[in-house]
Amino acid sequence: MRSTRVQTVACQLLPVSSEDDGLRTWHPDQVLTYLGAPVETPYACVLLNRPVSGREEQALRLWNGASLRVAVDGGTNVLRALVQSEDARKQPRPALPDVITGDFDSITEETRHFFEQCEFVHTPDQDETDFTKALRVVAERAGGVRWVMAVVDTSGRLDQIMANVNTLFTAARLLSVPVFQVACDSLSWLLAAGRHVIRLPAELRRSWCSLVPVGGPATDVSTSGLQWNLAGDDMRFGQLISTSNRPVADTVTVTTSHPLLFSMEIP
């Protein structure tokens, strides 16, 4: 019965399904729309202030395929550059954002004028990052979206990278759908406490993946399908974390007492 339900969910293009016994099954290939699979299920795309040089086609497919598009402060400058690039004629033109949010300390006046026909939502609260505040906007407008894809950066300022990871924890309180972070070479999301199955087609069984207990210690962590599996191990900073691991099967399983950040290489 379990395998039958998983197959049905895959046909509906859902990135994660939950079984009656608490098992969660993840299909990361279904959130990477640029892999070529048709996307019929609505999702939201949040564009942060990060470079997309060399990944323009992938970023545009993620952006244009979304049913709700949110440009966040300086990310709107990135979108404007994509619209005005010389290569814009060679690929689908970027869709306009449904809403532009942030404290607006990074967006330029030229960009604000360029997108003046779009809706702007000022979120000045400095107790939260623009990314977190953007997810609050998504929560208000999400409708039937089934996941959120955030285009982020995993190089450059370490504080911003850690703030983005922190937002994944906050997102669990703001939204009832999963939030994925896609960077130039990686896809990341939180595995909550419990049991997980991650389905990895051949194009996603690449050179590395990781399991990191970012939010605090995780105990009794067990895995299968990895080159270096865990067997009831405790994970915490200063002791054991799992980086530079790699998937060796089309199914990876993870059981954990507390949330783990799962990251993997993407094409």
Torsion (CA) 257, 259, 265, 266 in degrees, nearest 10: 120
| CA pair distance 186, 144, nearest whole angstrom | 26
What six digits make up the tokens of 104? 């607006």
What six digits make up the tokens of 249? 């099967």
Q: What is the pLDDT along the chain (267 residues), one digit of tens a residue?
A: 222 222 333 334 567 776 656 799 999 988 888 776 556 789 999 999 888 877 888 888 899 999 999 999 999 999 998 888 756 556 667 889 999 999 999 999 999 999 999 999 999 888 889 999 999 999 998 788 899 999 987 777 888 889 899 999 999 899 989 999 998 889 999 999 999 999 998 888 878 999 999 989 999 999 999 999 999 999 999 999 999 999 999 999 999 999 999 999 998
Class of CATH domain 1-30+185-267: mainly beta
The CATH number of 38-183 is which of 3.60.21.10, 3.40.50.300, 3.40.50.10240, 3.65.10.10?
3.40.50.10240
- Matching residue, tokens 């290939």: 29
Tell me the pTM: 0.88
Query: What are the domain boundaries of the chain?
Result: 1-30+185-267, 38-183
